[in-house]
């Protein structure tokens, strides 16, 4: 088990679409939070890429993709690794295929989004995917901070939630996680966390007020840890650095952490067999092995095997679990709120 980590935030909007911050302001916010990478994804435009923002900014790497939608503003899909936008008239099936053909990485955004019946904020309809079982979908957002906020916010609690934009956060939707466990028993679909930050400016009592969910606040919420074969900062070539990040996402070498519940640095979750040791997103071969977990702080841990909870316990720092073939995901909670959600580790049985 030999890897390094890059910690960063995915799904960010700037003034190139409906975000309120310039790209340099967003980069500065990411740097102030000590992030290793940011994935910018404005609606329907790669203008920031053309302006040269994809690359290194001091110690922070920014990849610039864009958020595609169809003509009815449905099926939001983040596409990274493309140098130009796809034609505007494409249906979602056409852009799923086109992103894949061009070697890009697509992420299905807020796939299971819902709103509280009759209490939703007007003007913010849910934009779910409906169907997700397309072979081109390799990555989905399992936890989108903005979407989560809108799901939890009603006309009654909106002022509290605006003032305390991270405190409401609970955990990814159970329905989504159940679907994700099911599909992963057939083929790999990676889960990432995203902020979907716009730093929207609102007026309170008719007066001009500052941005809600400002970039820095959101960068202290849901982060995705990517497990990399070499330190990102050593890869100075921007194309290579971007490829390394996108490959880790596609491969599921990743876990999601809500930093509102604590720093997740030092979290490790892996499988060891007699002959190998594998990291998140990988597959080990063998009829038995050990699942090993290191936590940076005590947490209530659940291990989910093939969609079923097989372990649920308060863990101080470390635990090991003897395992048989299957796919294994871990959830860690603190104060009954979601903290860490991993991708799957796989143990594939061998016949003699
Ligand atoms: Zn969207
Ligand atoms: Zn978005």
C-beta separation of 31 from 9 below 8 A: no
Phi, psi of 335 (to 5 degrees): 45, 40
Q: What is the mean pLDDT of residues 147-172?
A: 74
Give the model's pLDDT for residue 337: 94
Q: From ligand 2's centre to the CA of 70, what distance in Å? A: 14
C-beta separation of 106 from 99 below 8 A: yes
Alpha-carbon gap, residue 194 to 10, rounded angstroms: 5
Q: Residue 108: exposed, middle, or buried by beta-carbon count in 10 A (0-12, 13-18, 19+)? A: buried
Predicted confidence band of residue 346 (pLDDT cuts 50, 70, 90): very high
Give the model's pLDDT for residue 117: 55
170/272 same-domain check: no
C-beta separation of 5 from 228 below 8 A: yes
Q: From ligand 1's centre to the CA of 128, what distance in Å? A: 9
36-93 per-position pLDDT tens digit: 999 999 999 999 999 999 999 999 999 999 999 998 889 999 999 999 999 998 999 9
Q: Which two tokens mark 188?
A: 């790999």
321/182 same-domain check: no
205/282 same-domain check: no
How many CB atoms within 10 Å of residue 336?
8
Alpha-carbon gap, residue 92 to 127, rounded angstroms: 13
Domain that holds residue 323: 268-348
Q: From ligand 1's centre to the CA of 296, what distance in Å? A: 32
Q: From ligand 1's centre to the CA of 278, what distance in Å? A: 34
214-258 per-position pLDDT tens digit: 999 999 999 999 999 999 999 999 999 999 999 999 999 999 999
85/201 same-domain check: yes
The end-to-end CA distance of the chain, in Å, is 26
Quick one: which of 118, 200, 204 has its CA closest to 154? 118
Give the model's pLDDT for residue 149: 77
256/302 same-domain check: no
Q: Which ligand is nearest to the CA of 197?
A: 2
Q: From ligand 1's centre to the CA of 136, what distance in Å? A: 19
Q: Which ligand is nearest to the CA of 76?
A: 1
Q: From ligand 1's centre to the CA of 236, what distance in Å? A: 31
288/162 same-domain check: no
Q: Name the domain count of the chain.
A: 2
Give the model's pLDDT for residue 119: 59
Phi, psi of 87 (to 5 degrees): -55, 145
């Amino acid at each position: 088990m030999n890897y390094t980590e890059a910690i960063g935030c995915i799904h960010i909007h700037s003034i190139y679409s409906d975000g309120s911050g310039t790209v340099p302001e967003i980069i500065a916010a990411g740097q102030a939070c000590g992030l290793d990478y940011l994935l910018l994804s404005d609606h329907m435009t790669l203008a920031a890429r053309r302006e040269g923002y994809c690359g290194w900014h001091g110690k922070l790497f920014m990849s610039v993709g864009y958020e595609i939608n169809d003509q009815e503003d449905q099926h939001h899909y983040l596409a990274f690794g493309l140098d130009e936008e796809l034609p505007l008239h494409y249906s979602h099936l056409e852009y799923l295929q086109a992103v894949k053909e061009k070697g890009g990485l697509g992420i299905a955004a807020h796939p299971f989004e819902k709103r509280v019946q009759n209490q939703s904020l007007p003007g913010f309809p849910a934009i779910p995917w409906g169907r997700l079982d397309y072979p081109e979908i390799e990555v989905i957002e399992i936890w989108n901070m903005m979407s989560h906020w809108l799901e939890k916010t009603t006309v009654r609690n909106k002022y509290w939630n605006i003032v305390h934009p991270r405190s409401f956060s609970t955990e990814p939707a159970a329905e989504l996680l159940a679907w994700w466990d099911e599909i992963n028993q057939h083929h790999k679909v990676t889960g990432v966390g995203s902020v979907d930050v716009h730093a929207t400016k609102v007026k309170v009592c008719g007066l001009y007020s500052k941005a809600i969910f400002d970039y820095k606040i959101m960068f202290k919420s849901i982060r995705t840890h990517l497990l990399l074969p070499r330190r990102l900062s050593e890869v100075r070539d921007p194309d290579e650095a971007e490829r390394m990040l996108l490959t880790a996402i596609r491969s599921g070498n990743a876990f999601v952490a809500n930093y509102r519940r604590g720093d997740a640095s030092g979290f490790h979750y892996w499988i060891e067999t007699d002959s190998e040791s594998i990291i998140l997103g990988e597959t080990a071969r063998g009829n038995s092995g050990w699942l090993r977990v290191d936590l940076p702080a005590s947490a209530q841990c659940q291990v989910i095997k093939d969609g079923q909870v097989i372990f649920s316990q308060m863990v101080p720092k470390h635990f090991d679990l003897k395992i048989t073939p299957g796919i294994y995901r871990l959830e860690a909670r603190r104060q009954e709120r979601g903290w860490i959600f991993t991708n799957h580790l796989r143990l594939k049985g061998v016949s003699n």
